[in-house]
């Protein structure tokens, strides 16, 4: 029965693609991305704080006004952000205190 249902769903193009996944590791004072490019569409971005201070994550597509983000994450913890990414370049940064100025920023490229 399961095989039949899977076959029907696949033939009707109802199977949805899994979201792209990206991990952003935060330390003092840097972000390290698990990948620098992802495909457009649904995505899950995990902020993993391997530092000693709380960190957050802000994300903005170049040329857009909207800023998405994850609130402060305590050391040793992580948090997920689920969103739909459009093609373009995205700026990522930590907005806690002066962390951005100290180097906690990165660029993500989203392709078609």
The domain ranges of the chain are 17-111
Buried b (16+ CB within 10 A) or exposed e, 66-96: eebbbebbeeeebbebeeebeeeebebbbeb
Per-residue pLDDT tens over the stretch 29-87: 999 999 999 999 999 999 999 999 999 999 999 999 999 999 999 999 999 999 999 99
Name the CATH superfamily, with its identifier, for domain 17-111: Cupredoxins -  blue copper proteins (2.60.40.420)
Taking residues 94-101, report their average pLDDT: 98
The number of angstroms, rounded, from the C-alpha of 94 to the middle of its chain's C-alpha atoms is 13
Per-residue pLDDT tens over the stretch 44-60: 999 999 999 999 999 99
């Amino acid at each position: 029965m399961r095989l039949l249902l899977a076959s029907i769903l696949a033939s009707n193009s109802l199977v949805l693609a899994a979201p792209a996944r990206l991990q952003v590791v935060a330390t003092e004072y840097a972000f390290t991305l698990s990948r620098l490019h992802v495909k457009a569409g649904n995505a899950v971005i995990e902020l993993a704080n391997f530092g000693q201070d709380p960190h957050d994550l802000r994300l903005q597509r170049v040329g857009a006004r909207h800023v998405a983000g994850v609130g402060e994450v305590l050391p040793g913890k992580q948090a997920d952000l689920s969103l739909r990414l459009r093609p373009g370049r995205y700026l990522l940064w930590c907005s806690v205190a002066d962390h951005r100025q100290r180097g906690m920023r990165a660029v993500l490229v989203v392709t078609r």
